[in-house]
Amino acid sequence: MWIIKDSAWFLSLNYEAFNFLRYASASFAIITLIISTILLKNSDDRLSYFENLILTIWLLANTSWMLHEMFYVSFAKNIALISFLLGIALIPFYMVIVFKIGKIKFE
């Protein structure tokens, strides 16, 4: 679904004939965010929760950036920046959990 969203985003920005795809792209992005949020809510353990949290934050950042570019939503650029930074900041916490569980081992 995300590939379709990205393709529609690209076509709507680069070819005026495909301008109607802006709405298709936004629709696919919202559907993907909803699915990601459901996965986050139904996470069983801390590792899958952090994986889904980082994924959801990245999807939110990407969707906000897309909305800013396609629909000129001014505050969406700030949401994208905050979301990208938050996602990057969560990666070390995720790695600590991965090392504690023992999924990655250095020999």
Mean pLDDT for the stretch of residues 53-77: 93
Per residue in 74-92, pLDDT tens?
999 999 999 999 999 999 9
C-alpha–C-alpha distance, residues 48 and 8, integer Å = 30
Q: Which residue ranges make up each domain of the chain? A: 2-101
Asked whether residue 57 carries a pLDDT value surpassing 70, the answer given is yes
pTM: 0.84
